[in-house]
């Protein structure tokens, strides 16, 4: 038998190490088990943190954190973003709606698991964010992030929330609709990045969502590119 094959089949061979770890904070069964299973499908280990969550997040490295929004989650948010190890980890919020999750957008929430949790919807969120979590970066990576965005165009100004963002554009969720080709001006802020105002054009639209491509001639988009580069470097 080939030695490499024999080694792989040996019962004494060390177990394969998980590629990433996700902390789960403030969730009870069966929500914790459901999300743990979703992450496990992609080879991502989950660690349930209890009363000492804030302290562990200050000193222990995690690639992502799932945080329930019930009670007072602010101390855990603060500990996570103040940590040199976890200041840029992927952050999932659980509870309520994306609109309610925007209350915590200053902490850089990447995605929101709405309640009641449903396995298919949860798997979709994990699947869409796994590349970022596992550092499998594409050339034009799209970063999931939830923040409030002001959109002006077609004689209207509406409030939307972001879904994903790249250096070239972003997708948005809103009850308002814009036709493809509409010129818009969007404004938003993210974590340490000051508020940005940039021109763009709507490139696609679906019920309750649409995509905007930033104007390549608008130099005001440069802070977005720098923010994304910094985000990925960390």
CATH code for the domain of 60: 3.40.50.2300
CA 126/CA 82 separation, integer angstroms: 25
**Is 51 in the same domain as 93?**
yes
Q: Phi and psi for 179 in degrees, rounded to 5?
A: -75, 150
**Is 173 in the same domain as 217?**
yes
Range of the domain at 199: 143-233
Query: How many separate domains does the chain show?
Result: 2
Report pLDDT digits (tens) over 181-196: 999 999 998 777 789 9
Residues 6+ apart with CB under 8 A from 213: 168, 169, 200, 201, 203
Residues 6+ apart with CB under 8 A from 81: 87, 107, 108, 191
pLDDT cut 90: percent of the chain above it:
45
Domain boundary, last residue among 91, 106, 133: 133
Report pLDDT digits (tens) over 43-91: 899 999 987 888 889 889 999 999 988 778 888 888 888 888 888 889 9
The pLDDT, as a whole number, for residue 105 is: 79
Kindly state whether residue 11 falls inside one of the protein's structural domains.
Answer: no
Report pLDDT digits (tens) over 208-232: 999 999 998 999 999 998 888 887 7
The pLDDT, as a whole number, for residue 47 is: 94
Domain boundary, last residue among 85, 112, 133: 133
Kindly state whether residue 3 falls inside one of the protein's structural domains.
Answer: no
Residues 6+ apart with CB under 8 A from 133: 20, 22, 44, 63, 64, 90
CATH code for the domain of 160: 2.40.10.220
């Amino acid at each position: 038998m080939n030695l490499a094959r024999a080694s792989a089949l040996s019962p004494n061979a060390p177990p394969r190490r998980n590629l990433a770890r996700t902390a789960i904070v403030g969730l009870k069964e069966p929500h914790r088990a459901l999300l743990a299973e979703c992450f496990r499908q992609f080879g991502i280990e989950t660690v349930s943190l209890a009363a000492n969550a804030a302290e562990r997040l200050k000193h222990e490295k995690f690639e992502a954190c799932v945080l329930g929004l019930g009670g007072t989650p602010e101390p855990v948010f603060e500990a996570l973003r103040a940590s040199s190890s976890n200041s840029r980890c992927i952050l999932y919020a659980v509870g309520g709606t994306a609109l309610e999750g925007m209350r915590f957008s200053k902490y850089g929430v990447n995605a929101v698991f709405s309640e009641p949790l449903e396995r298919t919807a949860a798997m979709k969120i994990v699947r869409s964010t796994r590349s970022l979590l596992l550092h499998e970066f594409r050339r034009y990576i799209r970063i999931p992030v939830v923040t409030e965005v002001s959109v002006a165009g077609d004689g209207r100004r509406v409030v939307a929330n972001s879904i994903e963002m790249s250096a070239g554009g972003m997708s948005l969720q809103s009850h308002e609709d814009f036709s493809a080709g509409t010129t818009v001006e969007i404004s938003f802020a993210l974590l340490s990045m000051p508020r940005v105002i940039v021109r763009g054009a709507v490139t696609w639209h679906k019920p309750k969502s649409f995509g905007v491509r930033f104007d390549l001639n608008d130099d005001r988009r440069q802070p977005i590119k720098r923010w994304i580069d910094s985000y990925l470097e960390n």
